[in-house]
Amino acid sequence: TLVDLKWRFSLLIFILAYALTWLFFGLIWWVIAYSRGDLEHLGDHSWTPCVNNLNGFVSAFLFSIETETTIGYGHRVITEKCPEGIVLLLLQAILGSMVNAFMVGCMFVKISQPNKRAETLVFSSHAVVSLRDDRLCLMFRVGDLRDSHIVEASIRAKLIQSKQTQEGEFIPLDQTDLSVGFETGDDRLFLVSPLIISHEIDERSPFWDVSRGQLERDDFEIVVILEGMVEAT
């Protein structure tokens, strides 16, 4: 869900995740100091507080930030006379690491999404059925507009249409593979220039028994899937 959100909402959640965590633990640090009486003994050198130089909520909030981000300026530091503070320090360090891993992971995945890269992959507006090397073929073209190449690209094609089995079962969205060169390795593309993808209409093709008139009347869809990795990343 976080990855699919718009950027403004993702950034808002990213900021709130850290800010609320800092505020939550800052409040607990302040409650510990208040309940122990540290705030009533400010300037008393004979008193050992839970956190040195913690004199209010703002300083507790700053100490929470320093603890979770491991900044550690040294002015505010926890003492060994505060077991509840030691437990809280461990909990905040563990939870802070989890928040870091979760939020940074979400941002990394969101940045690496190929939505914009996919816009530069162009498919031909029409597919044609024609003779090629004296064989009837269904053909379309795909091209890459960017200079950065897509490596290890592979292509698949699916025919999606309604189907009724011999037993009378009706399948509204039946999927059938269209061979685009899997047996010969032609489905693995090198997209340095636009390529024509060809599906041979032979005995194994679902279009083998379909006439031209029936092809124009039938209700079906061909979905083409192109997969690969961007050279730069």
List, for residues 31-50, the tens digit of each pLDDT value.
Answer: 999 999 989 888 888 899 99
Percent of the chain with pLDDT over 70: 99
- pLDDT tens string 115-135: 777 788 899 999 999 999 999
- pLDDT tens string 125-181: 999 999 999 999 999 999 988 887 888 899 999 999 998 888 988 999 899 999 998
pLDDT score, position 46: 87
- Residues 7-21: what's their mean pLDDT? 93
Split at pLDDT 50, 70, 90, the class of 231 is: confident
pLDDT score, position 233: 66
pTM for the full model? 0.63
Alpha carbon distances (Å) from 4 to 39, 47, 48, 66, 193: 46, 53, 50, 32, 32
Between CA 159 and CA 227 the distance in angstroms is 18
Between CA 14 and CA 103 the distance in angstroms is 6
Question: Residue 118 in 3-state DSSP?
Answer: helix
| Residues facing 227 on adjacent strands | 154
Domains belonging to the chain, first-starting first, are 7-112 (1.10.287.70), 117-230 (2.60.40.1400)
